[in-house]
A and B are shown apart, each in its own frame.
Chain A
């Protein structure tokens, strides 16, 4: 078994298993904690309660008018690299073929030249995000190993992917194996750190928004 076979064979299987089990455990662990019933009479109907949750899922995607001057640029930076990441993961033809082999569905990809441009832009944004994290006093204070390691491992996947696409520094098979191994590593790390926010973001907005709507509070 060569390195590439190992990376996309047993290593990937183990990584996917850890990913799935870890995520399941993170979610089940909440359910094992106490869930308290709110005895206070709601202000809103069930419909408004649910609607408030859904509305917050959308409304928190961008800062309220009152906050935009202070946070708009930071949030734009954050969303930009996320959009770049999604484009690279979901619209690069080799990725589509790989995902198709897993899920049986494929879709049209973007031209490789455009993907290269997106890669470079996303990498630049990723560096900007790190720069911001270490220079912004609030973010620096809040940051811990999880923040930096999650950044590092995501960056590693992007850099190795770019190197493989550009055939830079080694044989293509070796570069591809390294790229897949970095994806395996990301999948293993995923349930242990802040990358879990990918699974939390919409339920968190919906739940908190619904609870505020129950009171008729601002959300």
Chain B
């Protein structure tokens, strides 16, 4: 562990030692390396209509123009035009596009990290069809290369890259996982060599919602699925994704991929964690350099498939009027929108949808790593007010979600606003309403 700590310290020190000039050079080179035909086309297509502002909850809450989503990539648009666009030599020769300065990038840290959940709602409103969220993710990569990822995200990503978990824990996660199994009287399949499904968990669940971990194990046991957790790749989250560190994201994903390959899994099951799903389902293969030799499924879509196949039977859940928070990364951006509703329907849940739901739902406010950024909290609370109103307006007594980060964000809001609702896990509701005999272990 001391070797790992040494590597970590060296990583952090090298980033902090950068001069502003080196930061700019790093950012621009990172962005220029990553800019492909698709991103260039997206940047060129913007007509400066500003409509994307009207999809963003940071803008809606504040009416502050700086939170306009496309503005968040302005320095990178400037750099692209100057360095790589069709008329780049003209821009440079005539001085029409200035070089991006270090202080400009420092200013943009607030816009790209503190005030963007990477939720992708802005990508649904653009009349030119531009996927603005994809551009913001690329801009985050460049900010990381410039050493301008927020400290909280950078440190967690660095820690996870080296140790496999984003922060020091009182007990190793493996031990905590086994302790959860003992506490909830459920078998935790661990380090089995040859299985159909590899499991992983949000570290948020290990630390804050152990019953969700137990529920996952219980449901899998009930279904009789051959599955296992792997000690060397327990954590689903990917702080490299949040921080914008593409290489670190690759290494963190690689840990899970290697273990899934080692245990011959046909499915890597992503638990209730939106961004883990995005990182593994929609980005990991690109970083791996070839298609993954297994499927990546989010737990609700796996369970909905089991439901449809008749292998999962659910009893009626007594929840009363219920609403559901759609996690942006798995629903809007990831396409898992029907599965959670199929599960709720099978349990007879009286679902009262929010005004903006499904693919158009507002983010919880904590996504994109914003929950971890301490200085972002006041702005985050401001944007959450609209979301909490939408939830209250449904008249629901029960509030479900299928993302542990959403859950943690709402728990935090509950304390901050003295709000009267507690978010609950859809997976836990499924585990509590299983019917029929458990399958073979």
Interface residues of A (CB under 8 A from B): 25-26, 28-31, 33-36, 38-41, 43, 56-57, 60-61, 63-64, 66-67, 70-71, 74-75, 78, 136-144, 147, 192, 194, 196-197, 200-201, 203-209, 211-212, 215-219
Contacts of B42 in A (CB 8 A): 204, 208
> Besides A208-B42, A211-B131, 18 other CB < 8 A contacts?
A38-B285, A39-B291, A40-B281, A43-B335, A57-B129, A60-B126, A70-B60, A75-B51, A139-B49, A142-B68, A194-B47, A201-B127, A207-B129, A208-B130, A212-B131, A217-B332, A217-B334, A218-B360
Contacts of A30 in B (CB 8 A): 37, 40-41, 44
Selected from B38, B71, B284, B292, the residue in CB contact (under 8 A) with A207 is B38
Contacts of A139 in B (CB 8 A): 48-50
B358 within 8 A of A: yes
Chain B residues numbered 357-377 whose CB sits less than 8 Å from any CB in chain A: 358-360
Is A78 touching B86 in the complex (CB atoms < 8 A)?
Answer: no
Is A66 touching B65 in the complex (CB atoms < 8 A)?
Answer: no
Contacts of A217 in B (CB 8 A): 120, 332-335, 359
Chain A min CB distance to B148 (Å): 22
Is A41 touching B295 in the complex (CB atoms < 8 A)?
Answer: yes
Is A40 touching B285 in the complex (CB atoms < 8 A)?
Answer: yes
Is B284 touching A40 in the complex (CB atoms < 8 A)?
Answer: yes
B282 within 8 A of A: yes
Is A66 touching B292 in the complex (CB atoms < 8 A)?
Answer: no
Contacts of B70 in A (CB 8 A): 142
Number of A-B residue pairs at CB separation under 8 A: 163
Give Cα A96 to B59, complex, Å. Answer: 45
Chain B min CB distance to A181 (Å): 23
Chain B min CB distance to A34 (Å): 4
Is A33 touching B129 in the complex (CB atoms < 8 A)?
Answer: no
Chain A interface helix/strand/loop/mixed: helix
B386 within 8 A of A: no
Contacts of A207 in B (CB 8 A): 38, 41, 129
Is A197 touching B47 in the complex (CB atoms < 8 A)?
Answer: yes
Size category of the B interface is: 35 or more
Is A141 touching B71 in the complex (CB atoms < 8 A)?
Answer: yes
Most buried by B among A60, A66, A137: A66
Residue of B nearest to A211 (CB): B131
B337 within 8 A of A: yes
Is B35 touching A33 in the complex (CB atoms < 8 A)?
Answer: yes
Give Cα A70 to B52, complex, Å. Answer: 11
Interface residues of B (CB under 8 A from A): 35-38, 40-42, 44-45, 47-51, 53-55, 59-60, 63, 65-66, 68, 70-71, 84-87, 120, 123-131, 281-286, 288-292, 295-296, 331-337, 356, 358-360
Contacts of B65 in A (CB 8 A): 137-138, 140-141
Residue of B nearest to A205 (CB): B129
Selected from A31, A63, A141, A197, the residue in CB contact (under 8 A) with B68 is A141
Q: List 30 A-B contacts (CB under 8 A).
A: A29-B40, A29-B85, A30-B40, A30-B44, A33-B35, A33-B40, A38-B286, A39-B285, A39-B288, A40-B283, A40-B284, A41-B285, A63-B51, A64-B360, A74-B51, A137-B63, A141-B68, A141-B71, A142-B48, A142-B68, A197-B47, A200-B44, A205-B129, A208-B123, A217-B333, A217-B359, A218-B331, A218-B337, A218-B359, A218-B360
Contacts of A36 in B (CB 8 A): 36, 38, 286
- Known contacts A29-B86, A70-B54, A141-B66; A200/B128 CB under 8 A: yes
Residue of B nearest to A146 (CB): B48
Contacts of A66 in B (CB 8 A): 356, 360
Chain A min CB distance to B356 (Å): 5
Residue of A nearest to B285 (CB): A39
Is A71 touching B359 in the complex (CB atoms < 8 A)?
Answer: no
Contacts of B128 in A (CB 8 A): 60, 197, 200-201, 204-205
Is A63 touching B125 in the complex (CB atoms < 8 A)?
Answer: yes
Chain B min CB distance to A213 (Å): 9
Give Cα A142 to B130, complex, Å. Answer: 16
Give Cα A144 to B120, complex, Å. Answer: 26
Residue of B nearest to A200 (CB): B45
4 nearest A-B residue pairs (beta carbon): A218-B359, A216-B335, A205-B129, A29-B86
- Known contacts A34-B37, A41-B291, A41-B292; A215/B68 CB under 8 A: no
Give Cα A74 to B51, complex, Å. Answer: 8
Most buried by A among B35, B55, B84: B55
Most buried by A among B125, B334, B356: B125
